[in-house]
Chain A
């Protein structure tokens, strides 16, 4: 028998108390792992989603650049527009590798077979120039298979064809060749216009906002929304992307009226920072959970020490040194924390899909793909944290036990 096995056996004396204490630690650890997983997963998802926009710099109407960026990621209302001739002014810039104009508008879906309970049946329409858009996003491909075969882009002048993102098409249960009806409110007109489109193609899933978008020719979109001389953004891929180059680029175009240059790198770090602020609040709650669990552990072990006063006295009488008693009680604390940490980690991993779907259901985070990422670094970090917490939580009860005088302890145990 060793000290460790004895520590395990001692925890079996009061199984309910031990299980409850371990459960407290496990819950705190599960919260910590889930939060760390969400933190990492969400950062990755933001970076991935922004990277998959395909461009590094955006030129957009003056306003909050982050709102516009978020809109690009998850859709929204209150769009601002910039003059369409900005494209011609900027196109000649020597640092631009490629540029694509995008017009975004919201339209109400009609004849949908599925009711949308999450704030109305709206679709994001993106007017694009296919060639320049594909230069930005060469990974876009048409879905194939039954109902998807024969997909193609619309003609530049086509007025009644759209290409649908995978999710928007499957949500509406549409196939290539089907009709798609939308009601559009053109700028300056009080009467909405109902428009029937033919679905020319359905894109493969990309894990980005493109999946939920309905694409149509730029000029058609501008005409339908009655904004023929306006764009939402200009997406730009630079020949060489660096902070200095971006600064040069920005200084050249800062004088343009009503537009601003926004680096997606800035957007990315600002969004991550904003998320980080919210996560700090959650982290505070986690710290409180950990402290509560810690107090629970100290309390349980102290109770156990007081209950075993006589035994501790006898162990000292038969030759246990102070260090032996300290080690024994300290190991019990450590065992509780380690078992709790392992259980909590398993709980967090097993429940990560549940947490993810709950978060996504509650908040539209504007990113696609998994937002909870629990990797080995998180698991190792939390286990190490639990060992450190166990180390400190065990100090006081172990010291109390080790400091007991054998005679007093035996006498107290006799009472």
Chain B
């Protein structure tokens, strides 16, 4: 496990907000590493700082203190577009809301990140990606013709199309029922096992969170505990 390559390395990460005269320490001096081929879940109650931490680690937000490197490169102090460049090379994203574009087909939605990379879509690759998430027969459907679980799978396929080393999923099952939620976590496990990618997940659902290889529990912006499970 320790020999695995580190994708994200955060040291002394802080994210403070000012609310009037009060300073809110959403993330308060966290050290964290994400390595290849592991599934890490971040748990904690509302306001514990898990979403803020994931936003920092995924270069969507900028820490007010500490250092962060992605694949060995320090990203602290980069501009918004430079951070976007880091994300598009390394990370795929899945959110609680699926944010599929309603006028594009499932396949076109999946190919959307390639538009920003100025890469010509390869329909065979798109279909292969959709096959990995079990949606190969829905390629030409519009999002409103899919169920909630299928829409989230399409969003996962959209994240996978750029072959990310790290998939970041912020409350990916927040809008799904328990059966679909379990199915999405099973899909994540398969992706880690078969594709060797890393997955960083935040969830309120403890049972699902404990399906990860490593579970980091936050409280008041600090790591309360970190648990490891045998690699599945």
| Interface residue ranges, A against B (CB under 8 Å) | 1-3, 6, 9-10, 12-13, 310-311, 313-324, 405-407, 410, 413-414
- Distance in angstroms between the alpha carbons of A257 and B227 in the assembled complex: 117
B18: min CB distance to chain A, Å? 16
Whether B104 pairs with A321 at a CB distance below 8 angstroms is: no
A to B CB contacts below 8 Å, 30 in the list: A1-B108, A1-B111, A1-B115, A6-B104, A9-B101, A9-B104, A10-B103, A13-B102, A310-B99, A313-B99, A314-B93, A314-B99, A315-B112, A318-B113, A318-B116, A318-B158, A318-B162, A319-B84, A319-B85, A319-B113, A321-B81, A321-B84, A321-B85, A321-B116, A407-B55, A407-B60, A410-B60, A410-B95, A413-B97, A414-B97
Whether B97 pairs with A318 at a CB distance below 8 angstroms is: no
The answer, among B61, B84, B162, for a CB contact under 8 Å with A320, is B84
Query: For B193, what are the chain A residues with a Cβ–Cβ distance below 8 Å?
Result: none
The answer, among B84, B111, B117, for a CB contact under 8 Å with A316, is B84
The answer, among A10, A319, A414, for a CB contact under 8 Å with B116, is A319
- Distance in angstroms between the alpha carbons of A407 and B56 in the assembled complex: 10
Whether A1 pairs with B104 at a CB distance below 8 angstroms is: yes
A21: min CB distance to chain B, Å? 17
Give me the 3 closest cross-chain CB pairs, A-B, nearest first: A319-B88, A9-B103, A314-B99
Whether B97 pairs with A310 at a CB distance below 8 angstroms is: yes
Contacts A13-B102, A317-B58, A405-B80 known; list 13 others, CB within 8 Å: A1-B108, A1-B112, A1-B115, A3-B115, A9-B103, A311-B101, A316-B84, A317-B87, A318-B88, A318-B112, A319-B84, A319-B87, A319-B117
Given contacts A9-B104, A314-B99, contact A407 B61 (CB under 8 A): yes
Whether B96 pairs with A414 at a CB distance below 8 angstroms is: yes
- Distance in angstroms between the alpha carbons of A318 and B158 in the assembled complex: 9
A407: min CB distance to chain B, Å? 5
B69: min CB distance to chain A, Å? 19
The answer, among B113, B115, B162, for a CB contact under 8 Å with A6, is B115
- Measured CB to CB, the nearest residue on chain A to B79 is A322
- Distance in angstroms between the alpha carbons of A414 and B171 in the assembled complex: 12
Query: For A414, what are the chain B residues with a Cβ–Cβ distance below 8 Å?
Result: 96-97
Dominant SS among interface residues on chain A: helix
Query: In the complex, which residues 111-157 of chain B have their Cβ closer than 8 Å to any Cβ of chain A?
Result: 111-113, 115-117, 121
Query: For B55, what are the chain A residues with a Cβ–Cβ distance below 8 Å?
Result: 407
The answer, among A6, A12, A311, for a CB contact under 8 Å with B99, is A311
Q: Which of A1, A317, A414 has the most CB of B within 10 A?
A: A317
| Interface residue ranges, B against A (CB under 8 Å) | 55, 58, 60-61, 80-81, 84-85, 87-88, 92-93, 95-97, 99, 101-104, 108, 111-113, 115-117, 121, 158-159, 162
- Distance in angstroms between the alpha carbons of A401 and B87 in the assembled complex: 19
A324: min CB distance to chain B, Å? 5
B67: min CB distance to chain A, Å? 20
Query: For B101, what are the chain A residues with a Cβ–Cβ distance below 8 Å?
Result: 6, 9-10, 311
Whether A315 pairs with B116 at a CB distance below 8 angstroms is: yes
Whether A319 pairs with B162 at a CB distance below 8 angstroms is: yes
B177: min CB distance to chain A, Å? 19
B155: min CB distance to chain A, Å? 9
- Distance in angstroms between the alpha carbons of A87 and B95 in the assembled complex: 95
Query: For B88, what are the chain A residues with a Cβ–Cβ distance below 8 Å?
Result: 318-319
- Distance in angstroms between the alpha carbons of A315 and B81 in the assembled complex: 13
- Distance in angstroms between the alpha carbons of A323 and B116 in the assembled complex: 10
- Distance in angstroms between the alpha carbons of A319 and B158 in the assembled complex: 12
Query: For A319, what are the chain B residues with a Cβ–Cβ distance below 8 Å?
Result: 84-85, 87-88, 113, 116-117, 162
- Distance in angstroms between the alpha carbons of A324 and B87 in the assembled complex: 15
B130: min CB distance to chain A, Å? 16
- Distance in angstroms between the alpha carbons of A316 and B111 in the assembled complex: 15
The answer, among A1, A315, A317, for a CB contact under 8 Å with B60, is A317
Q: Which of B84, B92, B96, B104 has the most CB of A within 10 A?
A: B84
Query: For A320, what are the chain B residues with a Cβ–Cβ distance below 8 Å?
Result: 84, 116
Query: For B112, what are the chain A residues with a Cβ–Cβ distance below 8 Å?
Result: 1, 315, 318
- Distance in angstroms between the alpha carbons of A413 and B61 in the assembled complex: 17
- Distance in angstroms between the alpha carbons of A413 and B100 in the assembled complex: 13
- Distance in angstroms between the alpha carbons of A317 and B84 in the assembled complex: 7
Whether B60 pairs with A314 at a CB distance below 8 angstroms is: no
- Measured CB to CB, the nearest residue on chain A to B89 is A319
Query: For A310, what are the chain B residues with a Cβ–Cβ distance below 8 Å?
Result: 97, 99
The answer, among B93, B103, B104, B162, for a CB contact under 8 Å with A317, is B93
Given contacts A13-B102, A314-B93, A414-B96, contact A322 B116 (CB under 8 A): no
Whether A322 pairs with B115 at a CB distance below 8 angstroms is: no
- Measured CB to CB, the nearest residue on chain B to A314 is B99
Query: For A315, what are the chain B residues with a Cβ–Cβ distance below 8 Å?
Result: 112, 116
Whether B115 pairs with A2 at a CB distance below 8 angstroms is: yes
B68: min CB distance to chain A, Å? 15
- Measured CB to CB, the nearest residue on chain A to B114 is A1
Query: For A317, what are the chain B residues with a Cβ–Cβ distance below 8 Å?
Result: 58, 60, 87, 93, 95
Query: For B60, what are the chain A residues with a Cβ–Cβ distance below 8 Å?
Result: 317, 406-407, 410
